[in-house]
Amino acid sequence: MKKSVLVTGAGGFIGSHLVKKLKQEGCWVRGVDLKSPLFSKPAADDFIIGDLRDPQLCKKVVDQPFDEVFQLAADMGGAGFVFTGENDADIMHNSALINLNMLEVCVKNKVKRIFYSSSACMYPEHNQMDPDNPNCSEDSAYPANPDSEYGWEKLFSERLYLAFNRNYGIEARIARYHNVFGPEGTWCGGREKAPAAVCRKVAEAKDGGEIEIWGDGLQTRSFLYIEECLEGTLRLTRSDFKGPVNIGSDEMIAINSLAKLVIEISGKKLSIKNISGPQGVRGRNSDNKLIGQKLGWKPSQSLRVGIEKTYSWIKEQVEKNAKD
Ligand code: NAD
């Protein structure tokens, strides 16, 4: 019998890639989202457009004991969406409702396993002040002090999944993703994240010009290519280890250096202008000790390989847009 899998948030960046991968594996896949994937046709056997804040929709969607559920739906975006404060109430309310509804119906319908995508944004701000030496080991999460409401909701929902696991027996698996990027991700409009925003700015810039980077550019991050994110997600979901565990790259880079890398890949001559803008914590990097120990695997691809593929895809989008 084919494995039956549900992906919520299947119209989004990670969800749409995950559906394709599950189809390649031979699973029967249902996808759900407010919208279809923006850059490719839905690959799911069944794609339901609907709002997971509505418990009735959740009941309709979870009408069978799926072998695996991947809960990726969330009201989210990059620094320009999450760190301005303007979207805090919606972010907390919408994502918490989705998680509350989904867990209830999954337990009622005897779903076997559920994966939940938490975020590195749940780590305490005070451990991420030094750009050269952030601490994001899993056991540093408490006492909690995320720097955004997005991070607080993730922390609450992690606990919710663990509580449902404890009290109702549903197998929960929790990953803390660190900045996932790749082709077919949001690249414009205000919800895009740093790698996509930098690729777009470089692709749009005229040779000899300049690009703007938020903050002094010395803030550091690591970025995980989508293929490795999917590999880690499937390995964790099918393991005996519940998490929460980091799924991220440990190749830390300053944002100005990321910009320099993209400029080099583009072949253009551009200068960088640092301007004020939302930027989040000063430093963040994935600590991959635990995932290595528990899964015998960790992301290892170099940032450059993923950025080359992503820049090439975003450049195509920019050129298409310019023609339209
Ligand atoms: P995304 O925004 O591309 O995908 C999320 C999807 O959820 C969107 O397509 C959106 O329409 C859908 N959604 C939102 N509200 C909904 C609702 N009420 N009903 C139905 N669908 C709804 O984001 P993504 O990058 O694919 O992220 C997937 C998950 O991973 C999210 O939970 C996110 O918080 C988490 N995460 C992502 C990253 C990253 O770098 N991309 C990092 C950490 C955590």
Ligand 1 mutation pick, 13, 90, 174, 221, max ligand atoms within 8 A of CB: 13
Per residue in 133-151, pLDDT (tens digit) is 999 999 999 999 999 999 9
- In order of start, what are the domains of the chain with their CATH numbers? 4-179+226-247 (3.40.50.720), 181-222+251-280+302-323 (3.90.25.10)
Contacts of 268 (CB under 8 A, 6+ apart): 202, 205, 207, 208
Count of CA atoms in the C-beta half-sphere (13 A) of 209: 9
Residue 309 pLDDT level (bands cut at 50, 70, 90): very high
What does the alpha-carbon distance between residue 37 and residue 11 come to, in Å, rounded to a whole number? 4
177 lines ligand 1 (CB under 6 A): yes
Q: How many Cβ atoms sit within 10 Å of the Cβ of residue 324?
A: 4
User: What is the mean predicted confidence (pLDDT) over 158-182?
Assistant: 97
| Residue that is written with structure tokens 């006492």 in the block | 143
Contacts of 312 (CB under 8 A, 6+ apart): none
225 lines ligand 1 (CB under 6 A): no
Which tokens hold the place of 235? 């390995």
DSSP three-state, residue 30: strand
Q: Quick one: how far is CA 115 from the chain centroid?
A: 13
Phi, psi of 4 (to 5 degrees): -100, 130
Q: Give me the pLDDT at residue 192, please.
A: 87
- Which of 92, 197, 116, 231 minimizes the C-alpha distance to 164? 116
Which amino acid is present at 176?
A: R
Residue 107 pLDDT level (bands cut at 50, 70, 90): very high
What does the alpha-carbon distance between residue 285 and residue 265 come to, in Å, rounded to a whole number? 23
What does the alpha-carbon distance between residue 157 and residue 188 come to, in Å, rounded to a whole number? 28
In the chain, DSSP finds a helix count (H) and a strand count (E) of: 10, 13
45 lines ligand 1 (CB under 6 A): no
Distance 73 CA to ligand 1 centre (A): 4
Per residue in 175-186, pLDDT (tens digit) is 999 999 999 999
User: What is the mean predicted confidence (pLDDT) over 216-244?
Assistant: 97
- Which of 74, 75, 178 minimizes the C-alpha distance to 121? 178
Contacts of 269 (CB under 8 A, 6+ apart): 207, 208, 263
DSSP three-state, residue 215: coil
Per residue in 233-250, pLDDT (tens digit) is 999 999 999 999 999 999
Catalytic residue among 116, 123, 150, 311: 150
- Which of 293, 223, 287 minimizes the C-alpha distance to 255? 223
> Computed from CA positions of residues 314, 317, 319, 321, in that sequence, does the dihedral angle turn out positive or negative?
negative
14 lines ligand 1 (CB under 6 A): yes
305-315-78-173 Cα dihedral, nearest 10 degrees: -40
53 lines ligand 1 (CB under 6 A): yes
Q: Give me the pLDDT at residue 190, please.
A: 83
What does the alpha-carbon distance between residue 227 and residue 212 come to, in Å, rounded to a whole number? 29
If you take atom 13 of ligand 1, which residue's CA is the nearest one? 73
Contact call for residues 71 and 99 (beta carbons, < 8 A) = yes
Rg (alpha carbons) of the chain, rounded to whole number = 19
Q: Quick one: how far is CA 295 from the chain centroid?
A: 20
**Annotated catalytic, 225?**
no
Residue 18 pLDDT level (bands cut at 50, 70, 90): very high
Percentage of residues in the chain having pLDDT higher than 70: 100
User: What is the mean predicted confidence (pLDDT) over 110-115?
Assistant: 97
